[in-house]
Structure 1
Amino acid sequence: MVQKADDLVIIGISVGLAVGILIASLVFFAICWYKKRVHLRRCANERSVATLPIRTNGLGTVIESSASIPNSATVKVLEYLAKKPRRSWWNNHGKDQFLPTSGIPRYSYKDIQKATQNFTTILGQGSFGPVYKATMPAGEVVAVKVLASSSKQGEKEFHTEVSLLARLHHRNLVNLVGYCIDRGQHMLVYEYMSNGSLEKLLHNKNEQILSWEERLQIALDISHGIAYLHDGAVPPVIHRDLKSANILLDRAMRAKVADFGLSKEEVFEGQNSGLKGTYGYIDPVYISTNKFTTKSDIYSFGVILFELITGIHPSRNLMEYVNLATLSPDGVDEIFDSQIVGTCNPEEVRSLARIAHKCLHKTPRKRPSVGEVSQAILKIKQRHLVKENTTSFAEDFYGALSRIEFQDLELKKLARIDES
């Protein structure tokens, strides 16, 4: 019986060992099978990466065919990005892709509607659209220019102006203080220029008459604004639509250049641009060649100078009068604005006319730079101030002398009365 029990124990141990070995073998084979399957899947993924073509990811970057991609899920994500439609800057203007870094506040339609009292006070009408007076919540008075649906200008000009004025800041450029893209409307919010445009002041009989001193200062202010665009901005900017309507004046009668919707950076110089601007102010060379340069702005400025001298609008054949005046040395005297004849020094007028003539030279390279024009106008201004101060001193001196003589006579009269 004892022997039989021992045999049973030995048999049990043997069976247990056999079962253990079997289980271990199954586990070993399962592990090997799993590793092989993982290896085959990785190889398949690597082969799929090797056959990927070069493509863009929809964000402007490129996926190379030799790129290492860890798994098939990543491949699917990248394929999804590649299939997404590419979004251009113009397709996303409504979402303001380019403006968040501009530093210019964006207003809602409701903000502008409230500030303008539902667009009730209109200041004027330009090629862009109507301009309204508005008062912001902080009490700041501004001008709101609304892009009209009938305007020849459009969203491209709107974005050009916002992006340029975000980086252009000068005392002789109108300051952009905000913008609005909402409910299909495009609006620009500017500092308020209480004296309106130079065009209105020169050609509206109901407006005040600009004195010669004011005209000379306006010419100097405009030259400083253009000088900043051409020589101070990086890269330089060509305005392309300089005209009296785009020169605005503040309450101190200081002039600022406005409306940059047609402006271009000088990197575009010499390229065909399509004819832009206002007839009467456009450089004839630009018209014939369809190419613009900084000297195209100089021509337009020359027209504005003659507009200041004569008070004649370019649409009223200003250049014909100017060409006739060149036939005699003092011909400009015949076309000088009759409203201020006799209130200024004719030689100063002739000097400014000579500068304007140089700006209108038919060969662009022979036209002066805006820096040279600015210096020449400044010299006229300085000579004017010297003469004005000299005259004032003489008047004060002779006035004081007359008062002394009068007092002397009065004293003599009193002395005679006392003697009698």
Structure 2
Amino acid sequence: MATGFFGEANRIKGSVYRGSFNGDDAAVKVMKGDVSSEINLLKRINHSNIIRLSGFCVHGGNTYLVYEHAANGSLSDWLHSNKQQTYSPLTWKQRVQIAYDVADALNYLHNYANPPYIHKNLKTGSILLDSVFRAKLSNFGLARTTANEEEEGGLQLTRHVVGTQGYMAPEYIENGVITPKLDVFAFGVVILELLSRREATAADEGGGDHEELLSSSIRKVLEGDNVREKLRGFIDHSLGQEYPLDLAFSMAQLAKSCVAHDLNTRPAIQEVFMTLSKILSSSLDWDPSYELEQSTSTGHPHGR
């Protein structure tokens, strides 16, 4: 394992360094403390949209986790970096593909991994992009198995609430409730970020100390009158007219259902994945010239 002695030139971000492992590019994460739960999880699972753990070693009180290298870094950088010359806007099709990939990974974790897992730390910073912008879910340090859920009445409780502001579901913040719907809520926020290129939390436009949550702002967009105009105002302006408004509306509606305050009204990730599969298929068939023709006519999403 070679990393150039973890020099600054090889630092990717934080405690993650670029290196090589068996001749392949790798990302080496240096961690302190007990990371056995993350290692045990990643050793058990194998999915093309989940970052692959190639190996690990313990030395000098540190654990070195060797992952496959995601050449294009984190989704957070592509959506929110100030370095516009480095990070050009993602296309509509790339954004839908990324959402589909993450839903695929979550569907695997919730329904097909043995035992099933809740990620618990989903955010754009936990989504890495490979050389062709396919998504890889990472950061499994907070992941928790759902194997004992049935014995405990279908949910778990914790007094130790940890996470990132803007992505945490209300039942988790208020009561420490942990279910797979926790990931569904966070994924809804990720979809909204992909649509709008806005961050999960933003300073209150009124100038106060209060932060506005992206998960709350979508309700104002999709409720009431002039939904079409409000949605165009919400969607990332760098896309211009280069997106299908009807499919963007479907994505926004899906995200809104994912960030519902009541966890019981949120869809299961399997349903989310199936919906995104249809949106992706339609997006890949979409012809930009059609949208230009439609932009001068009425029709498509009206106020509901």
The TM-score by the shorter chain falls in which range? 0.7 to 0.9
Which residue of the partner structure matches residue 147 of structure 1?
A: 31
Which residue of the partner structure matches residue 78 of structure 2?
A: 201
Which residue of the partner structure matches residue 16 of structure 2?
A: 131
Which residue of the partner structure matches residue 302 of structure 1?
A: 188
Flag the structure with larger Rg.
Answer: 1
* Aligned length in residues: 266
Letter in 2 for 1:383: S
* Aligned ranges 1:381-396 → 2 under 5 Å: 381-388=280-287
CA–CA distance in structure 2, aligned partners of residues 390 and 211 of structure 1: 15
CA displacement, residues 295-316 of structure 1 (integer Å, 9 cap, x when unaligned): 1110000000000000001132
Q: CA RMSD in A?
A: 1.7
Q: Which has the higher strand share?
A: 2
Which residue of the partner structure matches residue 186 of structure 1?
A: 63
Deviates more, 1:197-206 or 1:247-256: 197-206
Q: CA deviation at 1:333?
A: 1.9
TM-score by length of 2: 0.83
Q: Secondary structure at the match of 2:147?
A: helix
Q: Secondary structure at the match of 1:267?
A: coil
CA displacement, residues 295-345 of structure 1 (integer Å, 9 cap, x when unaligned): 111000000000000000113232353233133333322211011021111
1:349 maps onto 2:248 in alignment: yes
Q: CA deviation at 1:203?
A: 0.8
Which residue of the partner structure matches residue 177 of structure 2?
A: 291
Unaligned 5+ segments in structure 2 are 150-154, 203-211, 291-304
CA–CA distance in structure 2, aligned partners of residues 294 and 390 of structure 1: 40
CA–CA distance in structure 2, aligned partners of residues 360 and 259 of structure 1: 22
Q: Which has the higher helix share?
A: 1
* Aligned ranges 1:64-79 → 2 under 5 Å: none
Letter in 2 for 1:276: V
CA–CA distance in structure 1, aligned partners of residues 162 and 37 of structure 2: 14
Q: CA deviation at 1:165?
A: 0.5
Q: CA deviation at 1:235?
A: 1.7
1:250 to 123, 130, 137: 130
Q: CA deviation at 1:243?
A: 0.3
Which residue of the partner structure matches residue 141 of structure 2?
A: 261
Which residue of the partner structure matches residue 319 of structure 1?
A: 215
Which residue of the partner structure matches residue 54 of structure 2?
A: 177
CA–CA distance in structure 1, aligned partners of residues 280 and 27 of structure 2: 31
Percent identity, please: 33
Q: CA deviation at 1:188?
A: 0.9
CA–CA distance in structure 1, aligned partners of residues 183 and 197 of structure 2: 20
Q: Secondary structure at the match of 1:189?
A: strand
Letter in 2 for 1:132: Y
Q: Is the 8 A contact 1:321 1:335 kept in 2?
A: no
Q: Secondary structure at the match of 1:118?
A: helix
CA–CA distance in structure 2, aligned partners of residues 174 and 230 of structure 1: 16
Q: CA deviation at 1:367?
A: 0.8
CA–CA distance in structure 2, aligned partners of residues 183 and 251 of structure 1: 33
Q: Is the 8 A contact 2:52 2:67 kept in 1?
A: yes
CA–CA distance in structure 2, aligned partners of residues 123 and 359 of structure 1: 32
Q: Is the 8 A contact 2:244 2:288 kept in 1?
A: no
Which residue of the partner structure matches residue 119 of structure 1?
A: 6
* Aligned ranges 1:209-220 → 2 under 5 Å: 209-220=89-100
* Aligned ranges 1:205-244 → 2 under 5 Å: 205=84, 206-244=86-124
Q: Secondary structure at the match of 1:133?
A: strand
Letter in 1 for 2:219: N
Q: CA deviation at 1:210?
A: 0.4
CA–CA distance in structure 2, aligned partners of residues 190 and 176 of structure 1: 5
CA–CA distance in structure 2, aligned partners of residues 381 and 184 of structure 1: 45
CA–CA distance in structure 1, aligned partners of residues 170 and 148 of structure 2: 19
Q: Secondary structure at the match of 2:141?
A: coil
Which structure is higher in RCO with an 8 Å CA cutoff and minimum separation 6? 2
CA displacement, residues 57-99 of structure 1 (integer Å, 9 cap, x when unaligned): xxxxxxxxxxxxxxxxxxxxxxxxxxxxxxxxxxxxxxxxxxx
Unaligned 5+ segments in structure 1 are 1-110, 149-153, 392-420
Q: Is the 8 A contact 2:215 2:256 kept in 1?
A: no
1:337 maps onto 2:236 in alignment: yes
CA–CA distance in structure 1, aligned partners of residues 26 and 284 of structure 2: 34
Which residue of the partner structure matches residue 296 of structure 2?
A: none
Q: CA deviation at 1:146?
A: 0.8
CA–CA distance in structure 2, aligned partners of residues 135 and 380 of structure 1: 37
CA displacement, residues 17-47 of structure 1 (integer Å, 9 cap, x when unaligned): xxxxxxxxxxxxxxxxxxxxxxxxxxxxxxx
